[in-house]
Amino acid sequence: SIRDTTILNNGVHMPWFGLGVYKAKAGKEVENAVHHAIELGYRSIDTAALYENEASVGQAVRSSGLKREEIFLTTKVWNTDQGFENTLRAFETSRKKLNVDYVDLYLIHWPGRDKFKDTWRALEKLYREKYIRAIGVSNFDVHHLQTLAEDAEFTPAVNQVEYHPRLTQKAVHQYCKEQKIQLEAWGPLMRGRILDHPLLVELAAKYGKTPAQIVLRWDLDTEVVTIPKSVHRDRLEENANVFDFTLSQADIERIRDLNQDERTGFDPNEFLF
């Protein structure tokens, strides 16, 4: 079911599938999207301080009538808030906006240059104090993860990176698997730019699915958590309807072969701050 979870390296259950709300407007747009998603069975929502819609996400979750423990909430510390004290403050701001006692997953949004170790110490403190159920990172390459590990008490539970058929992240995926760090895909639909690819159209016909569903199923079949974004009920429903089929190993490989190391977002090694 849509509620199936992966078990993170600290034992916390995280849904394989969720809703991303980047660029969804605070207020009615986000609230309606979250309400629709929850009605359709979504139980995980990915926001960030950067998205400026945490308060709307929190409001929508509360008014949905779900119990707090029935929903998995992710948010992230933004680049300008990195550092130990800043991160503690930024977390408290996010937590208050979400209006929750705890956050399920808190991520360092981008590695940047040299503050992520101090930032991580703040996440570890908040984790120990049980304000966060799992701590992780985003946009970390192998070398960032190795640097982080030098002084870390806890291994990140999750690494959320751009991941789609044009960017399969082979090295990061392999390393995360070895280290028991759950890989999570952002931009899983390549922000809508890959859905007319002939292979995806062909596989959509073969499986009786849509190209978006083929790509999202491929995330799950490659053991990657996925959080496609939409604010439209029909697409939210379409995107979630990927739990009644699986791709053959050969088709998984064919999609993987579309890789061109092509990004829609920043290269973490060039996005320095």
192 binds ligand NAD (CB under 6 A): yes
Contacting range for ligand NAD; rule: CB under 6 A; set: 85-93, 142-150, 183-191, 240-248:
183-191
228 binds ligand NAD (CB under 6 A): yes
> Between β-strands 13-15 and 5-7, what pairing exists: parallel, antiparallel or unpaired?
antiparallel
Rg of the chain on CA atoms, in Å = 18
Q: What is each CA distance from 250 to 63, 202, 207, 221, in whole angstroms?
A: 44, 14, 14, 12
Contacting range for ligand NAD; rule: CB under 6 A; set: 26-34, 61-69, 171-179, 231-239:
231-239
Contacting range for ligand NAD; rule: CB under 6 A; set: 35-43, 122-130, 141-149, 184-192:
184-192
95 binds ligand NAD (CB under 6 A): no
238 binds ligand NAD (CB under 6 A): yes
Q: What is each CA distance from 190 to 81, 117, 148, 193, in whole angstroms?
A: 27, 30, 28, 5
Contacting range for ligand NAD; rule: CB under 6 A; set: 16-24, 79-87, 91-99, 111-119:
16-24
Which among 42, 51, 131, 175 is annotated as catalytic?
A: 51
Q: Which C-beta is closer to ligand NAD: that of 157 or that of 212?
A: 212
Active-site residue 51, yes or no?
A: yes
**Residue with the CB atom nearest ligand NAD in the bound state:** 20
Q: Which single residue is written with the structure tokens 């090295």?
A: 171
254 binds ligand NAD (CB under 6 A): no
Q: At what angle do helices 198-207 and 249-256 cross, to 10 degrees?
A: 160
**What element of type H or E holds 238?**
helix 233-240
61 binds ligand NAD (CB under 6 A): no
Question: What is the SS3 assignment for 41?
Answer: coil
Structure letter (DSSP) for residue 167: B
Q: Which C-beta is closer to ligand NAD: that of 153 or that of 244?
A: 244
**What element of type H or E holds 151?**
helix 142-151
From candidates 138, 169, 182, 241, binder to ligand NAD by CB under 6 A: 138
160 binds ligand NAD (CB under 6 A): yes
CB 106 within 8 A of CB 138: no
Distance, in Å, from the CA atom of 143 to the CA atom of 68, rounded to the nearest integer, reads 36
Amino acid at position 116, single letter: F
Joined tokens for residue 140: 């970390």
135 binds ligand NAD (CB under 6 A): no
Region 194-213 residues binding ligand NAD, contact defined as CB under 6 A: 195, 212
**Which residues are annotated as catalytic?**
51
Contact residues for ligand NAD (CB under 6 A)?
20-22, 46, 109, 138-139, 160, 186-192, 195, 212, 227-230, 235, 238-239, 265
